[in-house]
Structure 1
């Protein structure tokens, strides 16, 4: 598996508040630029999403795909939310990543985002890393704005 790209941001909000934004998949089209639709396909025993179907339109990359989620988080909101691609219709071959939330109960929260993307079309590794960095930077900025708003 390819190396993951990673970046972090400090969010002026409690970890539980940041986690609530991450877990609210139905709202993703409101605050993420590329996700046009998000639907929870199945939930686990704790009521959290296990699988989520997304419709993505990120310019050159358009796809409909399903991610499987794992929630290793405390009641305070700290911990890790990770996902892996389980199916994609056209372009994506892998879309595996995680958010790790760290901080005091009242905040602020340090959010570290790791991502590994692979596509079915030929692409230089350098261009893939650049795309991953762009995706991560945008996602962290949008998450920060939503959680602090």
Structure 2
């Protein structure tokens, strides 16, 4: 380079070559980074798609399990309701049986009482007729 003067054409060309070399290196680096970012984006998109697919599968599994659980609970509830109905029917039948037994007992005692009273009345009536007959014979003769 000459002093105080502009750089020579050779130096300018050499500086430009160096600048071009640096720019090529930078461009190559940027292209490599761009390719790496594109690959990273592609991998990220794949992972995101897999996550979405897994989320859909999980949702479907939960829906199936929920349906099965509801069916099981419905069946169990129906069985328990049947057991409760039978128990209530048994209690109702037992109450009816006790009532009928009590009524039969009262009816039996009423029949016995009426027969005894009827028998005493009949015996009393016959006894009265016999006594009246004797009194008429004794008093009449």
> TM range, normalised to the smaller chain?
under 0.3
Higher relative contact order (CA 8 A, sep 6+): 1
TM-score for the superposition, normalised by structure 1: 0.19
TM-score for the superposition, normalised by structure 2: 0.20
Which structure would you say has the larger Rg? 2
